């Protein structure tokens, strides 16, 4: 699972970052993507075409058949839900649901 968010960046920079992940093989090793709520992300306009964040994500993923859940409240937005690293999770993009499949804390 790859989760990420962006704050105060143009879409063109996000496109570059996501393509770097694609070219390095990261996107071939993920089972899903969770995108936080973008804050002050500016659209990219080039050659008369207007590209938003959704366009960039779809372009980078190309034909990969993985679920993408967007506009998730984590990171810099309130309520700033924690996403634990190293915990198995399931993304159901059709029902807009992210579920942890195991505990995020050790029982003690």
3-62 per-position pLDDT tens digit: 999 988 888 899 999 999 999 999 999 999 999 998 888 876 565 566 788 889 999 998
Is the distance from CB of 32 to CB of 100 less than 8 angstroms? no
Measured at the alpha carbon of residue 54, what is the angle toward residues 48 and 57, in degrees to the nearest 5? 105
Residue indicated by tokens 């807009």: 96
* Token pair listed for 97: 């649901």
The whole-number pLDDT of residue 81 equals 79
The whole-number pLDDT of residue 76 equals 80
The whole-number pLDDT of residue 77 equals 74
The whole-number pLDDT of residue 47 equals 56
Q: State which CATH number among 3.90.550.50, 3.30.360.10, 3.50.30.60, 1.10.12.10 fits the domain covering 2-100.
A: 3.50.30.60
Is the distance from CB of 43 to CB of 51 less than 8 angstroms? yes
The whole-number pLDDT of residue 27 equals 95
């Amino acid at each position: 699972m790859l989760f990420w968010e962006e704050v105060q960046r143009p879409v063109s920079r996000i496109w570059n970052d996501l393509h770097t992940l694609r070219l390095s093989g990261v996107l071939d090793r993920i089972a899903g993507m969770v995108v936080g709520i973008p804050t002050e992300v500016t659209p990219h306009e080039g050659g008369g075409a207007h590209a938003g964040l959704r366009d960039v994500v779809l372009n980078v993923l190309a034909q990969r058949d993985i679920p993408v859940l967007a506009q998730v409240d984590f990171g810099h937005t309130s309520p700033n839900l924690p996403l634990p690293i190293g915990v198995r999770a399931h993304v159901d993009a059709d029902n807009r649901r992210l579920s942890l499949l195991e505990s995020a804390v050790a029982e003690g």
